């Protein structure tokens, strides 16, 4: 019998989707190719079209969070699982800042 999973409506982080058992369409083999063969990447996808999910998946990959990728296609490709420092800037939290100083404070925490 097939297991039913919830759709990740409004959930934009790879880690949460995996840990909470939401449905995930596995394209990690393509992500691995992107990480190993692409030089420059410009994500020109429409709003609400998976950019945040892709970037958080890449974040987990570059942090070396191997346990999140168990059972996914990338496990056939990646053998080393090196951890790299990751800087994640979420500009959605900067909306509506009245001044440049307030924006800078919000981005720098």
pLDDT of amino acid 109: 61
pLDDT of amino acid 73: 97
**Residue 1 and residue 5: Cα distance in Å, rounded?**
13
* pLDDT tens track, the chain, 109 positions: 667 889 999 898 999 999 999 999 999 999 999 999 999 988 887 877 888 899 999 999 999 999 999 999 999 999 999 999 998 877 777 778 788 888 888 777 6
Output the pTM of the full model: 0.81
Alpha helices in the chain (DSSP H): 14-19, 28-37, 51-62, 100-108
């Amino acid at each position: 019998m097939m297991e039913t999973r919830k759709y990740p409506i409004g959930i934009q982080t790879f880690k949460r989707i995996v840990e909470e058992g939401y449905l995930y369409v596995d394209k990690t083999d393509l992500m691995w190719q992107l990480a190993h063969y692409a030089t420059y990447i410009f994500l020109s996808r429409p709003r609400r079209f998976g950019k945040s999910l892709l970037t958080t998946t890449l974040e987990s990959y570059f942090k070396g969070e191997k346990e999140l990728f168990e059972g996914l296609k990338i496990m056939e490709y990646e053998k080393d699982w090196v951890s790299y420092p990751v800087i994640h800037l979420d500009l959605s939290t900067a909306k509506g800042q009245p001044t440049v100083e307030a924006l800078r404070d919000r981005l720098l925490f």
